[in-house]
Amino acid sequence: MGPVTIDRFVLLLPDCDARSVQSVMQRFQARVLESPAETEDGEPVNIPFSCGVVSFAGQVARFDTVMSRVDEALMRAKKKGVNRIELF
């Protein structure tokens, strides 16, 4: 089996406001950054981690609206550099 590439994934965190989600993502990011993956030869591979965060706590939103805003926040994070967390 060849290498696995994960470009994007979505986490849904019900009943979380923007501050709570940002805190969760900061902890998640720290774990990813402090635990590098390894190649088959045992060489460490540092994985960059940037994400876009959107909160709709207490609101109803269409899936396409949520994804559009997350994508926009992620693009802002990537433009600012690696290992960023950007809130919409």
Query: From first to last of its 88 residues, what are the pLDDT tens digits of the chain?
Result: 556 666 777 788 877 888 888 899 999 899 988 887 888 898 888 888 899 988 877 778 888 988 899 899 999 999 998 899 998 8
* Distance, CA of 72 to CA of 87 (rounded, Å): 9
Question: In the chain, how many domains are there?
Answer: 1
Q: Tokens at residue 11, please?
A: 């986490």
Q: Which domain holds residue 24?
A: 18-33+44-87
Would you say residue 24 lies in a domain?
yes
Residue 22 lies in a domain: yes
Q: Is residue 10 part of a domain?
A: no
* 78: in domain: yes
Task: Provide the pairing of β-strand 85-87 with 37-38.
Answer: unpaired
Q: What predicted TM-score, i.e. pTM, was given to this entire model?
A: 0.74
